[in-house]
Structure 1
Amino acid sequence: MANRNLDIRQFTLHQRFDKTSTSLLDDINFKDLYEVLKQSLSDFINKIDKEWNKYEDKELEKEENEGKRTIAIAKVKDSNNKDSEQIYFHDKSRCISGKISTGLYGKGGFIIDENKNILFEKQANHALPRPFYFMICVPAHSDTGYIITEKDGIYGFSQGLCIILQAFIKNYFPDVVASCRPFIEDQLMSNFLNKGIFNEVILTTTVLPKHLEESYGVASPEGEEYTIELKITPRNKKKGITGKHQENIQNKLHKKSSPIIVL
């Protein structure tokens, strides 16, 4: 039986040269993000695989075709037996849903049946696309949107869809940057922070005061993105972080402006 579940991430937008405040999703430079997505997202997704490699890690040496990916809105036959894209726009809830078909090139091999008979030899320039359900929610009068993607066992496309959204924002709003992070329900997080044992805490931020940006060497006139992490690990790992140290961390993380954490 397939092990299918959902991955939920949230995203915010901010001006490239001002990371201290986020933008309302229905008023980005006087434009509504939902309406721009509704008009252009499908075509953007269907063409992005031609430039996908520029979003990959350029430091890695890759063989021919390695890292190349096919990406497209999945299609089904309609009542007239014509291909119809599986993308739907829900204006009332301001959500976009559908299926993305994606797969990697670069790895050859054999396709076999359950009796290990070879059915087909896959070449390095072949890909086996998988369809993944997705939903992008763009609430009105809010600075936070949500990306929901299907995960099939170890396979998924949540990070890929985040990359697509970030590229879309950069293309249609050059002075705006999209940031994505995992979504954790507030009540669950609060319960974990109050009753859980802290073995290790990692504080992560993409915003630093100007003088600290210069001190750490991450200041950039082009407004390039960076991530700073502070890892807190107790010397006595069996006990975890306790006492006043745990209390101070809890107080910090309960603030609305607290950084992203990994526990």
Structure 2
Amino acid sequence: MEKIKTARRSLEVYNFSLFDKNDMNTRMDYCNINNNDLYDVLKNNIPQYFENIGPEKLSKKTIKIDSDGANTVFKSNSKLRIITGKIKIGDDDGKEIEHTKGAKKQTVVYVKQKGVYAHRPFFFMIIIPKNKKTGFIVLEKEGYYSCKKIFCKALSILIKDKMSGLLFRDENYVEDEIIKNFIEKGEYNSINISRKNLPRDLCDKYFGGYEEGGEYELELVLRTKKGTDFKDVTKQKILNNMENYDGFFNTKEFEDIGFDDSTSLKVVSTFDGTTKTIDLSDSMKIRPYYTISVELDNKGFADFESIRNEAIGLVKGFNLGLL
């Protein structure tokens, strides 16, 4: 029996609300907009509408619902009021790119021409609770590949067109108290410290020279091994800085390496069996990414049913009574 392949993925979670363009302070009741329910509008329109949005409206990218043979990967559940599926984001970077096979003696398999879109699939879930004014969006993130910008832009265009010109706004979903538990009581997998936009002297020091227009990043990953955890004093310092940011690890040793107040920091922590990557960058704007393990399909991407089950389990764990 062939072993099922698995891999780690991240899930991003966002809140969203609808507003009248003349009143951006009052969330609208999306269950009844001129007798239209947002759940029904999205369920009935997303597949065809997304495919018809041109790249000129999506930063030169395309979006469409993925398919498995003749069937689209798109499900809805009227009882739970959730819509799940896979989208494919198409990207033409305007370049000819060689695709090769082999590590040493590389053979060119084909060349992607200008104007040809490479498509990457992503899982999505939209939750539209009854008698609420705030919905939820869960999106797959693979490494640095994210569909958030294009997905939310497409959703915004659809809603504005089909819901009387209403405006869509999303924001990060942050569980303040739960995040504190991960920081204070969790078992740290790692602390990742990084700095971009390195000055010339650090480029000379680490890369042997500075290239005009080049992009450089300095990263330090702190890990413990063999069951050892980070000390409470480190966890408390990070927790304190969540409310009163004044930079992490402000010591001469870290400054000598090249880290300063612009340094970003991520904590990978496990609490109650769940692992989260908590991004504490940008003066402590907390952006939690939820790390999950999923089965892979025959193309090497996340299996739809596997990641769908993980996403539903994650949302149930918020204890918000959504599912």
TM-score norm. by structure 1 comes to 0.65
Describe the shift of the 1:124–1:2 C-alpha distance in structure 2 as closer, same or farther (beyond 3 A): farther
Per-residue deviation at 1:198?
A: 3.3
Unaligned 5+ runs, structure 1? 57-67, 78-82, 202-232, 240-260
What secondary structure is seen at the aligned counterpart in 2 of 1:149? strand
Verify the 8 A CA contact 2:95 2:114 in the aligned structure 1: yes
Verify the 8 A CA contact 2:36 2:163 in the aligned structure 1: no
Describe the shift of the 1:3–1:103 C-alpha distance in structure 2 as closer, same or farther (beyond 3 A): farther
Among residues 78, 84, 107, which one is paired with 1:91 in the alignment?
78
Letter aligned with residue 99 of structure 1: K
Aligned partners of 1:186, 1:93: CA distance in 2, in Å? 25
Among residues 80, 102, 109, which one is paired with 1:114 in the alignment?
102
Per-residue deviation at 1:190?
A: 6.0
Aligned residue runs from structure 1 range 9-158, under 5 A: 9-48=14-53, 50=54, 52-56=55-59, 68-77=60-69, 83-105=70-92, 106-115=94-103, 116-158=106-148
Describe the shift of the 1:28–1:187 C-alpha distance in structure 2 as closer, same or farther (beyond 3 A): farther
Aligned partners of 1:107, 1:9: CA distance in 2, in Å? 33
Among residues 120, 143, 153, which one is paired with 1:163 in the alignment?
153
Verify the 8 A CA contact 1:6 1:150 in the aligned structure 2: yes
Describe the shift of the 1:24–1:189 C-alpha distance in structure 2 as closer, same or farther (beyond 3 A): farther
Verify the 8 A CA contact 1:2 1:152 in the aligned structure 2: no
Letter aligned with residue 53 of structure 1: E
TM-score norm. by structure 2 comes to 0.54
What secondary structure is seen at the aligned counterpart in 2 of 1:44? helix
Aligned partners of 1:109, 1:153: CA distance in 2, in Å? 21
Describe the shift of the 1:190–1:23 C-alpha distance in structure 2 as closer, same or farther (beyond 3 A): farther
What secondary structure is seen at the aligned counterpart in 2 of 1:21? strand
What secondary structure is seen at the aligned counterpart in 1 of 2:24? coil
Number of residues of Structure 1 aligned to a counterpart in Structure 2: 192
Verify the 8 A CA contact 1:11 1:181 in the aligned structure 2: yes
Letter aligned with residue 56 of structure 2: N
Percent identity between the two aligned chains:
28
Per-residue deviation at 1:138?
A: 0.8
Verify the 8 A CA contact 1:199 1:234 in the aligned structure 2: no
RMSD of the TM alignment (CA)? 2.7
CA deviation map 1:146-197 (0-9, x unaligned):
111111111120221111111111111243111011111242356679x623
Verify the 8 A CA contact 2:124 2:140 in the aligned structure 1: yes
Letter aligned with residue 154 of structure 1: Y
Verify the 8 A CA contact 1:99 1:134 in the aligned structure 2: yes
Aligned partners of 2:243, 2:175: CA distance in 1, in Å? 20
Aligned partners of 1:53, 1:197: CA distance in 2, in Å? 45
Letter aligned with residue 6 of structure 1: L
| Residue of structure 2 equivalent to 1:222 | none
